[in-house]
Amino acid sequence: MRSWRTILISVLIPLALGSVRADESDSEVEARKMALDLAGAFANDGFKLRDGHWSGPIKQGENAIVAVNLYAGNQYWFSVGASEGAKNVTLHIYDETGKPVPTDDYDETDQAAAGFSPTVSGQYFVGINPAAETAAKSFCLVYSYK
């Protein structure tokens, strides 16, 4: 079963990349590849990759906050990838009041993931935070659930 999922995701990622919007920049495409690369790891544990993403630039010293709506009972992993040169990107999840929620975190230089299981359905926020010294780069957020 595990190898089947791996094959499936290996097929789906190029398909997903094939449907890149025409107005996406090369650096956004690169960030998306990094995000999908990381999210693929969670497929091995039965997480389904949502066929949708947010991508865009984040200026130096700034962050991006993306609203998502999640269901109690599901487990989620949010994965972010960055274009080359990004430093120490981190992800944080906040509940609908803006309070941070505890997550399992994975941070690499240009990739990061945060996982958690909401106990209340509703709106949450995903904060994408590049290191302050990172010059403007493109970032891409995807998420997986099971």
Q: Is 5 in the site for other proteins (CB under 8 A)?
A: yes
Q: Is 122 in the site for other proteins (CB under 8 A)?
A: yes
Q: Is 103 in the site for other proteins (CB under 8 A)?
A: yes
Q: Is 139 in the site for other proteins (CB under 8 A)?
A: no
CA angle (7, 9, 11) in 5-degree steps: 70
Ordered DSSP codes for 37-75? HHHHHHHTTTPEEPS--EEEEE-TT--EEEEEEE-TT--
Taking the C-alpha atoms of residue 22 and residue 58, their distance in angstroms, rounded to an integer, is 20
Single residue of 10, 25, 61, 85 touching other proteins by CB under 8 A: 10
Which of 57, 55, 59, 120 lies closest to 94 in space, CA to CA? 120
Q: Pattern 22-61, binding to other proteins, x per CB under 8 A?
A: -----------x--xxx-xxxxxx-xxxxxxxx-x-----
Q: Is the dihedral of CA 99, 121, 115, 102 positive or negative?
A: positive
CB distance 114 to 91 below 8 Å: yes
Q: Is 136 in the site for other proteins (CB under 8 A)?
A: no
Q: Is 68 in the site for other proteins (CB under 8 A)?
A: yes
Which parts of this chain interact with other proteins (CB under 8 A)?
5-6, 8-10, 12-15, 19, 21, 33, 36-38, 40-45, 47-54, 56, 64-74, 77, 90, 92, 94, 96-100, 103-108, 113, 119-123, 125, 127, 129, 141, 143, 145-146
